[in-house]
Amino acid sequence: MSAEPLLTVDRVSVHFRAGGNLLTGVSLVRAVEGVSFTLQQGETLSIVGESGSGKSTLARAILRLVPVTKGSLHYRGENLVTLSQDQMRPRRRMMQMVFQDPIASLSPRRTVEQIIEEPLRVHFPDLDRAERAQRVAETMDAIGLLPDMRNRYPHEFSGGQAQRIGIARALIVEPELLVADEPVSALDVSIQAQVLNLLAEIKQARSLSLLFISHDLSVVQHVSDNLMVLYLGHVMEVGPAGTIYSRPQNPYTQALLSAVPRMDFSADRPKRTRLTGDLPSPTLEHVGCPFASRCPRAQALCSTDKPVLTPVDGREVACHFPGS
C-alpha cells in the first residue's frame, strides 16, 4: 500500500454550463466539486450516491471525456489533465470503461466482433485480421460469450449478454484500470449477481484496479475495498468499505445504508434514517454543507460552514456532527 498510487485525484471539479437563454442567463451545474481520492493498484474503490450526485461525471472526467474544470488527475505520477486528446490516446489502453446501459453502449450497426475488436484497432494497429480475430475469440471465451455470437448485432442480445460484450470490449486491450459506471443497474436482479461475479473474477485474475460506480449500496457491498460516498458532487465520507458499512459516520451515508435491506436484527443495528425531499439543484453554490437542507442532524453551523474531510474512526468524514 505504500507504493505509488495508480490514480490520484486531487480536488477535481467539473462544472457545466447549462440551459441559458437570454432571460435566465447561463447557469453553472456543479456536477463534481473538489473531489480527492487515491486508488492503489489492484484495489476496488466504489463510488456511491443518489442519481445526480456526479458519479458518472467524475468517471468521465477521469477518462478525460468531459473537461476538468479544476484540479489534477495523476495516473502513475503523470498529470492527465494537461495532456491533449492526442497525447491521451495511447494512455487510454490502460484505462477502459464499462457503461450503464449495456445495449446503448454498443454500436447498433456493428457486429459483436467488430465492436470487441475496435479497441485493438486503435491500440494495436499492427495486428492483422487473423491475429485480431484470435484475440477477440480468446476474450469472448474468457468472458463467457459463445463463438457463434461473433456475427450477431447488439439488438439481438439480452442486457446481461450485452454487458458481457461491453466487458469483453474493455478487457481486450488488457487495461490496468477498469471504470465501471453502474454496470448492473440496468440488468434484472437475477442477472446482476452473474455480472458482478464475472467482474470480481476478472478483477482477481487480471489484478485489475476497479472504480465501481453504483447508486445502490447493496450492489457494491461485496466488491469494494474502499468506499466513497458522493452527494451533489461532494465527498461525504470515504474509507475502508467494511468500516463504513458497519459504522457509518455521515448522516447521508446512514440514510443511504438504511435503504439497503439487511439481515441484522441486533439491538445496536443502525437506526433507519429516511431521505426526505429532493436532491437540491446542482446549480447552487454551497456555503455550508450541501446535505444540510435534508439532514436530520443539521444545525445552524451546517448551513454557514462547509465541513471538510476529517479523519474519524478509521475513515474520513465531511460532517460537523459525525457519529453513529
Ligand X SMILES: Nc1ncnc2c1ncn2[C@@H]1O[C@H](COP(=O)(O)OP(=O)(O)O)[C@@H](O)[C@H]1O
CB of residue 229 to Mg ion, shortest distance in Å: 15
CB of residue 65 to other proteins, shortest distance in Å: 6
- Sequence-distant (≥ 6) Cβ neighbours of residue 203 within 8 angstroms: 44, 178, 210, 223
CB of residue 52 to Mg ion, shortest distance in Å: 8
57 binds Mg ion (CB under 5 A): no
Specify the residue, 154 or 282, whose C-beta has the smaller distance to ligand X: 282
- Binder of ligand X out of 20, 26, 51, 79 (CB under 6 A): 51
Q: How many residues interact with ligand X (rule CB under 6 A)?
A: 13
Judged by the rule CB under 8 A, the positions of this chain that interact with other proteins are: 60, 63, 65, 88-90, 92-93, 96-97, 99-101, 104-111, 118-119, 122-123, 148-149, 151-153, 155-156, 166, 169, 173
Task: Give the one entry of ligand X, Mg ion, other proteins, none that residue 110 binds, where binding means its C-beta sits below a cut-off of 5 to 8 angstroms depending on kind.
Answer: other proteins
Stretch that binds ligand X, among 45-53, 79-87, 101-109, 256-264 (CB under 6 A): 45-53
d(CA 157, CA 11): 40
- Binder of ligand X out of 16, 99, 212, 252 (CB under 6 A): 16
Contact letters for Mg ion, residues 148-167 (x by CB under 5 A)? --------------------
53 binds ligand X (CB under 6 A): yes
| 234-240 sheet: strands from edge to edge | 95-98, 177-181, 209-214, 44-48, 226-231, 234-240, 315-317, 310-312
Is beta strand 78-79 parallel, antiparallel or unpaired with respect to 226-231?
unpaired
Q: With contact defined as beta carbons under 8 Å apart, do 61 and 15 qualify?
A: no
What is the distance, to the nearest Å, from the Cα of residue 19 to the centroid of all Cα atoms in its chain? 26
Task: Give the one entry of ligand X, Mg ion, other proteins, none that residue 16 binds, where binding means its C-beta sits below a cut-off of 5 to 8 angstroms depending on kind.
Answer: ligand X
The residue with cell 474512526 is: 313
Stretch that binds Mg ion, among 55-63, 117-125, 189-197, 225-233 (CB under 5 A): 55-63
Task: Give the one entry of Mg ion, other proteins, ligand X, none that residue 97 binds, where binding means its C-beta sits below a cut-off of 5 to 8 angstroms depending on kind.
Answer: other proteins
Sequential DSSP letters for 259-298:
TS------TTSPPP----SPPPPTTPPPSS-TTGGG-TT-
Task: Give the one entry of ligand X, Mg ion, other proteins, none that residue 151 binds, where binding means its C-beta sits below a cut-off of 5 to 8 angstroms depending on kind.
Answer: other proteins
290 binds ligand X (CB under 6 A): no
CA dihedral 195→197→202→205, nearest 10 degrees, is: -170
44 binds Mg ion (CB under 5 A): no
CB of residue 89 to other proteins, shortest distance in Å: 4
Task: Give the one entry of Mg ion, other proteins, ligand X, none that residue 137 binds, where binding means its C-beta sits below a cut-off of 5 to 8 angstroms depending on kind.
Answer: none
Long-range contacts (CB closer than 8 Å, 24 or more residues apart) made by 237-245? 237/315, 237/316, 237/317, 237/318, 237/319, 238/37, 238/309, 238/315, 238/316, 239/314, 239/315, 239/316, 240/314, 240/315, 241/46, 243/313, 243/314, 243/315, 244/315, 245/217, 245/221
Using CB under 5 A as the criterion, which residues of the chain lie in contact with Mg ion when the complex forms? 56
